[in-house]
Structure 1
């Protein structure tokens, strides 16, 4: 159980951390995604900071388990919102949000299971 908890949490932190970097450095991909989903570009850095906070929170969860669980829960809400944003505009490119959402759910469940 411990190995699964650590592995999934680190993978989730790396995934969301990498996405946060792309959002925060002004890469074109998040901007085009925001345009496609009809989200204001001014939200892109804020969304990047949310991803960065979630990523750091997952890692901080190794020291403070409640913080890791809350970070995973926040990321779940974030990626549910991303999923809804894709569906709202009729996008069928759902693999990305689904992978991130699944990883966040797994990190949340494993955090709660391991520390219960």
Structure 2
């Protein structure tokens, strides 16, 4: 396992975990845009759970690589959906945020 893979995997897991916690605690800077984008409130716990599972999977992937790959693919799909949701809401200034969260996950997948 390379040092770069270890760093980007932990960074991606930390960022996804932070994002999940932000949804679970209804951080204003997260839930207000979700409401503006038209994401139903009933989906929020599921979205947070998906990000938390992805974060745990990235860490587990340090020991069982296939789990990390599966978690990485899941998170890339999740954040791709987030990019599409933000673009559909015409909130182009916010497109950088899901891309920023996706970047270390993509890097971890590339380095796997």
TM range, normalised to the smaller chain? over 0.9
What is the alpha-carbon root mean square deviation over aligned residues? 1.1
* Deviations, residues 19-63 of structure 1 (Å, cap 9, x unaligned): 111111222233212111101011111100000000000000011
- Structure 1: gaps of 5 or more residues: 112-116
Number of residues of Structure 1 aligned to a counterpart in Structure 2? 111
Residue 39 of structure 2 is aligned to residue 39 of structure 1: yes
1:108, 1:42 → 2: CA distance? 31
State the partner residue of 1:114.
none
1:46, 1:8 → 2: CA distance? 25
SS in 1 for 2:59: helix
TM-score normalised by the chain length of structure 2: 0.94
- Structure 2: gaps of 5 or more residues: none
1:89, 1:42 → 2: CA distance? 19
State the partner residue of 2:87.
87
State the partner residue of 2:111.
110
